[in-house]
Amino acid sequence: MMNVNSEKCIGCGQCVKDCFARDIEIIDGKAKINNITCIKCGHCIAVCPKSAVSTDEYNMEDIKEYNKEDFSVDADTLLNFIKFRRTIRQFKDKKIEDEKILKIIEAGRFTQTASNMQDVSYIVVRDGIQDLRKLIIESLNQVGEKILKDTNEKNILYQRYAKIWIDMYKEYKENPKNDRLFFNAPVVIVVTARQEVNGALASSNMELMINSLGLGTLFSGFSAVAAQMDEKISKFLGVKKGRKVVTFMIVGYPNVKYLRTVPRRKADIRWK
């Protein structure tokens, strides 16, 4: 429930103006939150000049007062940071500190979600990473064999993936240390959500945090596909009912050093 401290409130109306749900009104010179259409987005908490708004549903200790020095990011520096990011497929044999993993998840936790659903969940796989890899590789191999046996399947991309999955499985059976799935990374973070876009947005911010911590990541599309198709993998992960696997983030310390950014196609922009 959202609450207004009437002693602090000066009735300025800033919360009313910024409330998308139109759940706040000024009565007798004080703000009143009706808590009927409110989606608990917290805009009223953030905009109030007197810190008069609070909630008993979330931890108010999460709140940080704004100051330019701690909250501003130079636009050119941020753009260069984004340009320099690379997908990592070479990882050091080094554990990731718990505090870094929690900070990565914190970046996801504070990412916006549609209607403030906050429906994103995180599964951190460390001790069971080899069991997870085995399940995924076996699942992908089975799918790959079915694709190649299907005479009606003409999609060249599917056929190419099928061959890759079968080769991955053969290499794994020959030597389990041959890891073309997780690339011997120490941690997998699986992001799940009710609405896929919410999980995708959270994953994007998490990647920025990963890079800022001196770590690297690979978004494993193969693993996400396997988890979405194979119930055994979802059960192993303990995916909550009503949620779907959105991303598999393979995380570790990079064992490669990049020296420059790379080119991209020109942006496809239409000005109307």
**Is the predicted pLDDT of residue 95 greater than 80, yes or no?**
yes
Distance from chain centroid for Cα 194: 13
Number of domains in the chain: 2
Find tokens 């990592």 and name the residue.
Answer: 88
Distances in Å between the alpha carbon of 90 and those of 18, 225, 252?
46, 22, 9
Of 15, 41, 62, the position where a domain reaches its end is 62
Q: Are residues 223 and 141 in the same domain?
A: yes
Q: Does residue 67 form part of some domain?
A: no
Rounded Cα distance between 22 and 225, Å, is: 41
Mean pLDDT of 164-168: 96
* Alpha helices, DSSP H, located in 19-96: 43-47, 68-71, 75-84
The dihedral region occupied by 237, where left means phi > 0, alpha psi between -120 and 50, and beta the remainder, is: alpha
Structural domain includes residue 68: no
225 shares a domain with 190: yes
Q: Does residue 155 surpass a pLDDT of 80?
A: no
pTM of the model: 0.94
CATH of the domain at 198: 3.40.109.10
Q: 174 near 81, Cβ under 8 Å? A: no
In a shared domain, residues 83 and 213? yes
47: domain CATH number is: 3.30.70.20
Bridge-based pairing state of the strands 53-55 and 121-125: unpaired
Residues 40 and 119 in one domain: no
Q: Which two tokens stand for residue 170?
A: 């053969």
162 and 230: one domain? yes
Residues 109 and 32 in one domain: no
pLDDT score recorded for residue 164: 95
Residues 80 and 54 in one domain: no
- The span from the CA of 210 to the CA of 126, in Å, is 16
Residue 217, pLDDT > 90, answer yes
- Within this chain, do residues 137 and 232 fall inside the same structural domain, yes or no? yes
- Does one domain contain both 212 and 179? yes
Q: Where does the pLDDT of residue 223 fall: very low under 50, low under 70, confident under 90, or very high at 90 and above? A: very high
- Point out which residues pair with 190 in neighbouring strands: 123, 248
Final residue of a structural domain among 19, 42, 62: 62
Residues 167 and 221 both lie in one domain: yes
What value does the mean pLDDT of the chain take?
Answer: 96
Residue 170 lies in a domain: yes
Same domain? 109 vs 139: yes
Q: Average pLDDT for residues 40-65, to the nearest whole number?
A: 97
Q: Whole domain around residue 125: which residue ranges? A: 73-272
Residue at 179 is within a domain: yes
Q: Are residues 135 and 25 in the same domain?
A: no
At 245, list the tokens: 């696997």
